[in-house]
Every structure is written in structure tokens, then in C-alpha cells.
């Protein structure tokens, strides 16, 4: 069952501890070296590598500036709902130049643990993830899909990275190591960070609603929004409700509930079948679909839609 604020589990996932004891930190280090090598991450400079040096701003100031700049990026080159991006316009926009000049550079010395509490940190990492996706699509010259590359999505999400407090942090690190409580990519066994990795201290308790706040650059992804600490709980509720409203389909003739592929990939984040149904009942609008799920919960067949990885561009 989900807690009142959407959290499940504790700060350290039991499966992370199991994975560490069974696989060992040495195995995780070897795995990451191999996967990063195959993905090209070891030879791809971090995107803010050449950002000029500047004095690190206060943590809350950078978080606020990141949110404001991401709002400006949205206004300059995205549709009103945040589903579609004009990357050509974005890359030449004044807002993007400001982002590169101010946010990119400041991240190099930014200390995320200086933010006041888990909520502020979660909002910061969600915003940074969404900004990094935009930045990486432009920097890498992605034209058709973020699945381009030797390892498909693995290549993009491992190559796309910033220096944060002097440490390399990729999209893969933000999502699986930090925002998912170090649970690790669902297609890769074991925890994401080793216990000796300094970034391990940045991990946050899992909130499954984050899956509807992260935009991965594909057409089936949730829209790009910005998040703020003081409103994060309400914003994540809204993101979950909005995404389920447009993605859930009932096929009563076959007793089927069709969901986004996201809920299959991250099934254990939601608590398996029963947790997924709890989540759907909680966040689906109070319409005939929700009533059908409640009435047929014991027998309904969960199915998942094909994911459209084409670039979310005009």
C-alpha cells in the first residue's frame, strides 16, 4: 500500500541490501565499467565540462534558478502542455544560453546535500533530470530518438551527464541511484551505486509518482513540468493523475486494463500487481474506468502499451 504522500519503503531498499551482499561492491563496479564502456560514457565528456568556473551559489538559490530557467526553456520552445519540444529553436534561444552560462557552471561546485530536506532535494533532482535530457538531446545532436546508439537507451542515459560537486552524474545515476533509492535499473541486476560511492549518500526514499514527473525525451514520456519543494506533493499527485487519465484504457470485452509500459518496467516500485491496482484506483479520475477496476479487481488482466521512443520534437 502507498503511504499518504506516495512513499513506499524506507531510505534503504531491502533488495539493495540483498543485492549488495550477494553481488558485492566489486561486482557492481565491474558491471558499471563494462556498461559505461559499451555505452560510450567513458569517452563522452560531461556536458558542463567546459563551463567556466564560478563561485557556487547557495544551494537554495541554485535550485530556484534551475526551476526558473527550466520554466524559461519551456516557454521558449515547447508546446503549452510540455509534450513537444522544438529543439532547433531551444538550442538557439536566449534561455538556453542563460542555462548554459549560469546553471551548468554552478553545478560543478554545487552540493546537493546542502538543500534543506528530502522534498527540496527530490524537486531539485527531478528538475535537473528533465533539464539534462533537453541539454543532452541538443548537445548530442539527437535527431530521431534517444534510443540511438550501441546499447539503445542505455547509451543516451549513461552518456548524458553533468559534473555535480565534482562528481560525474548521469541520467542513469539520477533516476536509479538517487531518485529510486539506489534500486538500480530494472534491466540490470543489483544496486546502482556501491556502498563506497560518494553519490550513494545522495539517494532518496522512493516515491513512485516520480515516474510521471521524469521526461525521457520520447513521445510516450510524461510531459515536461517544473517542480518546487513547497508544492511538490500536490504537483506529483497532479502529475500522476494527469498521466493516468490520458494513458489508462479499459477493454471490458476482454476484461483488460491497459497501462503505460512504465508501470511494467517499474512494477516493483509500485508494489507489484496489487500495488499497481492501488495506485490506479487512487489516481485515476472518478469515472467509469475507475469503477470498472474496483469492480473487477480480482480478475482484471493487466496489459501494457507499446512505448513510443521517437523524439518528442515538432
| Shared-domain flag, residues 97 and 147 | yes
Determine, yes or no, domain membership for 5. Answer: no
Q: Residue 293's closest CA among 263, 265, 259, 264? A: 259
| Shared-domain flag, residues 51 and 195 | yes
Percentage of residues in the chain with pLDDT exceeding 90? 82
Comparing 40-44, 48-52, 189-193, the range with the smallest average pLDDT is 48-52
| Domain end among 217, 250, 276 | 217
User: In terms of pTM, does the model score above 0.85?
Assistant: yes
Q: Residue 123's closest CA among 60, 197, 72? A: 60
Cβ-contact 109, 56 below 8 angstroms? yes
| Shared-domain flag, residues 283 and 155 | no
Determine, yes or no, domain membership for 224. Answer: no
Q: Which residue has the higher pLDDT, 137 or 14?
A: 137
Q: What pLDDT shows up at residue 19?
A: 47
Phi, psi of 263 (to 5 degrees): -80, -15
How far apart CA 205 and CA 107 sit, in angstroms, is: 23
| Shared-domain flag, residues 37 and 161 | yes
Q: Residue 163's closest CA among 44, 58, 71, 64? A: 44
Q: In what order do the strands lie in the sheet with 249-251?
A: 249-251, 256-259, 301-304
Residues of the domain holding 240 = 235-304
| Shared-domain flag, residues 210 and 288 | no
| Top mean-pLDDT range of 6-20, 23-37, 159-173 | 159-173
Cβ-contact 257, 247 below 8 angstroms? no
Determine, yes or no, domain membership for 132. Answer: yes
Determine, yes or no, domain membership for 26. Answer: yes
Determine, yes or no, domain membership for 7. Answer: no
How many independent structural domains does the chain possess? 2
| Domain end among 185, 217, 249 | 217
How far apart CA 269 and CA 182 sit, in angstroms, is: 12
- The tens digit of pLDDT for each residue in 61-81 reads 899 999 999 999 999 999 988
| Domain end among 217, 250, 268 | 217
CB atoms within 10 A of CB 18: 12
Determine, yes or no, domain membership for 276. Answer: yes
Q: Please give the biggest Cα pair distance in the chain.
A: 62
pLDDT score of 90 more than 90: yes
| Shared-domain flag, residues 191 and 133 | yes
| Shared-domain flag, residues 212 and 241 | no
Determine, yes or no, domain membership for 297. Answer: yes
Determine, yes or no, domain membership for 51. Answer: yes
Q: Which residue has the higher pLDDT, 149 or 255?
A: 255
Q: Please report which confidence band the pLDDT of residue 151 belongs to, taking 50, 70 and 90 as the band edges.
A: confident
| Shared-domain flag, residues 72 and 213 | yes
| Shared-domain flag, residues 32 and 178 | yes
| Shared-domain flag, residues 242 and 211 | no
Amino acid at each position: 500500500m502507498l503511504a499518504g504522500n506516495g512513499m513506499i519503503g524506507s531510505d534503504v531498499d531491502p533488495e539493495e541490501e540483498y543485492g549488495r551482499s550477494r553481488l558485492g561492491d566489486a561486482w557492481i563496479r565491474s558491471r558499471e565499467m563494462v556498461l559505461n564502456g559499451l555505452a560510450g560514457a567513458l569517452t563522452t565528456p560531461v556536458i558542463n565540462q567546459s563551463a567556466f568556473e564560478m563561485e557556487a551559489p547557495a544551494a537554495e538559490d541554485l535550485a530556484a534558478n534551475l526551476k526558473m530557467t527550466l520554466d524559461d526553456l519551456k516557454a521558449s520552445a515547447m508546446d503549452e502542455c510540455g509534450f513537444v519540444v522544438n529543439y532547433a529553436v531551444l538550442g538557439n534561444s536566449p534561455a538556453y544560453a542563460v542555462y548554459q552560462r549560469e546553471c551548468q557552471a554552478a553545478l560543478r561546485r554545487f552540493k546537493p546535500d546542502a538543500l534543506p530536506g528530502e522534498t527540496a532535494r527530490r524537486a531539485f533532482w527531478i528538475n535537473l533530470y528533465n533539464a539534462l535530457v533537453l541539454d543532452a538531446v541538443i548537445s548530442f545532436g539527437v535527431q530521431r530518438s534517444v534510443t540511438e546508439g550501441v546499447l539503445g537507451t542505455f547509451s543516451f542515459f549513461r552518456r548524458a551527464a553533468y559534473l555535480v560537486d565534482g562528481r560525474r552524474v548521469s541520467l542513469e545515476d539520477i533516476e536509479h541511484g538517487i531518485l529510486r533509492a539506489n534500486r538500480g535499473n530494472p534491466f540490470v541486476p543489483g544496486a546502482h551505486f556501491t556502498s563506497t560511492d560518494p553519490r550513494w549518500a545522495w539517494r532518496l526514499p522512493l516515491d513512485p509518482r516520480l515516474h510521471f514527473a521524469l521526461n525521457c525525451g520520447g513521445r510516450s514520456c510524461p510531459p515536461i513540468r517544473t517542480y518546487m519543494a513547497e508544492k511538490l506533493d500536490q504537483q506529483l499527485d497532479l502529475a500522476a493523475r494527469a498521466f493516468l487519465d490520458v494513458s489508462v484504457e479499459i477493454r471490458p470485452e476482454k476484461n483488460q486494463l491497459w497501462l503505460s509500459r512504465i508501470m511494467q518496467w517499474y512494477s516493483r516500485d509500485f508494489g507489484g500487481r496489487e500495488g499497481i491496482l492501488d495506485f490506479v484506483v487512487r489516481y485515476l479520475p472518478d469515472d467509469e474506468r475507475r469503477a470498472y477496476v474496483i469492480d473487477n479487481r480480482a480478475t482484471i488482466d493487466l496489459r501494457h502499451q507499446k512505448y513510443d521512443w521517437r523524439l518528442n520534437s515538432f
